[in-house]
Each structure stands twice: as structure tokens, then as C-alpha cells.
Amino acid sequence: MSQVPVAEGLFTWPSDDPALLAGRGSDGSLVFPFREHRLIGGVRERLEQVELPRRGTLWTFTTQLFRPTSPPYAGDDTPETFQGFTVGYVELPGALRVEARLTEPDPAKLQIGQEMELRIVPLGKDKDGNQTMIYAFAPVDREASA
């Protein structure tokens, strides 16, 4: 089975060091996900594609205990097999805050201000049977990175 991104242009992948892709305007502002154009000062401007930092800090988080209904949820579970997950905002230094699924499902093991790192993880299957991949953030293991 092939692995494919859930949407094109969200992140660099396949890669050993994946990065989220954002757009930077002439005023230095960033938008995620990347898009080619944006109004800046009332003028439609082409954005420069940039890679966001791979590490950041957990700004806030919550648990998702029910299967999302909209936009169409791309997971390959059912309402009966759905397992809750954590979702949060990760503040990327010098960039912006990104909403993402977190790889740690136990909220007791998460702490605001905790260092997080980007991962690419499986979500479900597309209409062609390919495994869809999404971005998520994982807590940085302080002992392993020391």
C-alpha cells in the first residue's frame, strides 16, 4: 500500500526531517497552510513558500473524544471503533501557532510549554486504498535529545 499526504502542499514529505510549508508575504507575515497569494495592504501579492521550524512548544491542548463529523473526517475508523486523541496548538519560534493532532493520546502526559517536534503519521485510507499521512506533533524526549 502506498502512503500519500492527506493534502498536497502541507508538508515536505517523504523526508527524514519533514517541515510544514507556509507562505511569507513581503511584510514578513506567515500563513499556514501555504497558499500562493494573499491580500497584503489591499494588494494581491504572491507569497514565498517557506519551511516552518520543526520544533516548538505546546501552547494549549484538549482531547477529541468523539469522531469529527465535518469537514469530512478522513480517518478509516467508524463511530464504534473511534479512539479519542489529543489536539493542540504548537507555537513555532519566530513563526506562528499551528493547530495539530498530538501523538501522545494521554493528556496527563502533556504539559503546556512542553517541547514538541513535527512527525508525519498515518490517518486513514483514500478512495484508492492508499494510506493517508498527516502532520502531528510529538513530545520531545528530553533524555534522548540530551
Burial 8-42 (b: 16+ CB within 10 A, else e): eebbeeeeeebbbbbbbbeeeebebebeeebeeee
**Does 145 fall in a domain?**
no
Pick out the chain residues at pLDDT < 70: 70-72, 142-146
Q: How many domains does the chain have?
A: 1
pLDDT for 81 equals 86
Domain encompassing residue 36: 3-140
